[in-house]
Amino acid sequence: MSEQLAKRLTGQWVSQVLEQFNNHTITEKEACELLGVTRVHLHRIRKSWLKNILNGEPFELHASGENKKRSLTAEVQDFLHQELSYIKEEAYHYREKFNFAFLSEKIEKKFDTFIHRNTIRRFAINEGYYEQTTREKQKPCIRFEMDSVGALFQHDTSRHVWLPRSKRYHDLIMTKDDHSRRIVAFSLREFETAWHHLCLARQTFETIGIPLAYYVDKHSIFKFNLDECIHYTRRISEEEGKIQFKRALGNLDIAVIYASDPKSKGKIEKSFDYFQRRLPVECERYRVKTIKEAMSILSDLVHFYNTRRVHTETDEIPLGRWNRAIKEGRSKLRPVPQDIDLEAIFSLHFQRTVYNDGTFKFQGKTYKLGQFPGRKITVAIVPGKKLMAFKDNQKIWQYHFTGYR
């Protein structure tokens, strides 16, 4: 729109159009034409109009910035001065890199009040903290959307300088429900491994449930696969890492779909962008240098994202959209079967041949099996805990590492 709605139309006319649209006497397209707004803007106005009606308040249109002075209390202004001054003068890696949406979220968490990012931006300009806008990055495209929770989980890793003061890259592994946009699992690691992906998947299934499918990036999901523990150190290939992940999920009847390019995973890519604009800033602000400290901040950010942030595309809070879908019977999640050995499924599997003397070798060590000479077996390892042997999907042997029984 070339002009703001409040400058072009009267509140009475807007109310009249909204009332007819709400009563289904005019179509969505007709309402948009009568008000000269987009579909998204129409529903945003309708939401505000309905809220006023339910509260018994008159509906009024306000020009942008009309109430900006009243919207910022003295406490909020003091907080903004403190934060903006830090970003402009004290921050090292993120000096003068203003994220007004994040400041809006911090105000909402601290003062339990919503201040729009544009209001904060105007405040920063008027107070001399901010002078120019930055060029927005190209947004990932969204190609599809499932109609049920648990129909598809998007799963990926973002390698980024999450802890600026550590001066190192770390890997954030994340799983997101396609329909609701809820972050269902996340883990920050020194580097991603096949074992970390398996552990996070198991945690997800035990706490959330089993989905129909996983959507992953075929090019990079297992790019860094160094699995280490006291009793096991081995580098596995990218392809072998994929096989481990697909095998484990396949045992639970979960389809693994590989995206052809990062843009195909627009939803989770946008989530990574969201956290890249917040977690490193907070880690630098509070001098965080360890993953444990960063995970505490990340958990708080994810909680806000899931429970309070209205998603720009769905116009719903992710957890609210998740709960509504479940209430309406639109859930594809399954409970974990009681008779399944999750430890066996979510372990790293390798093929070995038993020697004629009934032994086999694994990582330079010889283990006594005592059966199946000359036959192939599957050796499964739970790093740092135990080694198991399977024949025809039946466990035939196990060895506990020192300290585990």
- Alpha-carbon distances, residue 263 vs 8, 143, 245, 316 (angstroms): 38, 9, 22, 23
Provide mean pLDDT across the span 59-65. Answer: 61
Alpha-carbon gap, residue 246 to 37, rounded angstroms: 47
Residues near 257 by beta carbon (within 8 Å), at least 6 away in sequence = 152, 213, 214, 215, 216
Provide mean pLDDT across the span 220-234. Answer: 41
Question: So what's the pLDDT on residue 257?
Answer: 81
Record the pTM.
0.71
**Mean predicted lDDT score pLDDT of the chain:** 83
Alpha-carbon gap, residue 93 to 82, rounded angstroms: 18
Q: Dump pLDDT digits (tens) for 313-322.
A: 888 999 999 9
Choice between 52 and 157, residue whose per-residue pLDDT is larger: 157
Amino acid symbol at 230: I
Task: Give the CA-trace dihedral at 9, 36, 135, 81, to 10 degrees.
Answer: 30
Cβ neighbours around 145 below 10 Å, total: 13
Question: So what's the pLDDT on residue 218?
Answer: 65
Whether the pLDDT of residue 293 is over 80: the answer is yes
- Residues, the chain, total? 405
Alpha-carbon gap, residue 174 to 176, rounded angstroms: 7
Provide mean pLDDT across the span 293-320. Answer: 94
Question: So what's the pLDDT on residue 24?
Answer: 86
Question: So what's the pLDDT on residue 227?
Answer: 43
Whether the pLDDT of residue 68 is over 70: the answer is no
Q: How far apart are the first and last CA of the chain?
A: 68
Provide mean pLDDT across the span 231-255. Answer: 70
Burial (CB count within 10 angstroms: exposed 0-12, middle 13-18, buried 19+), residue 351: exposed
Question: So what's the pLDDT on residue 286?
Answer: 93
Question: So what's the pLDDT on residue 256?
Answer: 83
Strand partners, 177: 153
Q: Which of 14-28, 233-247, 307-321, 385-399 has the lowest mean pLDDT?
A: 233-247
- Checking DSSP bridges between strand 386-391 and strand 394-400, what pairing results, if any? antiparallel
Structure confidence at residue 6 as a pLDDT band (50, 70, 90): low
Question: So what's the pLDDT on residue 264?
Answer: 55
Q: Dump pLDDT digits (tens) for 15-61.
A: 878 888 888 888 888 888 777 788 888 888 888 888 888 887 777 77
Whether the pLDDT of residue 236 is over 60: the answer is no
Runs of H (alpha helix) within 127-219: 194-207
Exposure string of 45-81, with b = 16+ CB inside 10 Å and e = fewer, is bbeebeeeeeeeeebebeeeeeebeeebeeebeebbe
Chain-centroid distance of CA 83 in Å reads 26
Question: So what's the pLDDT on residue 222?
Answer: 44
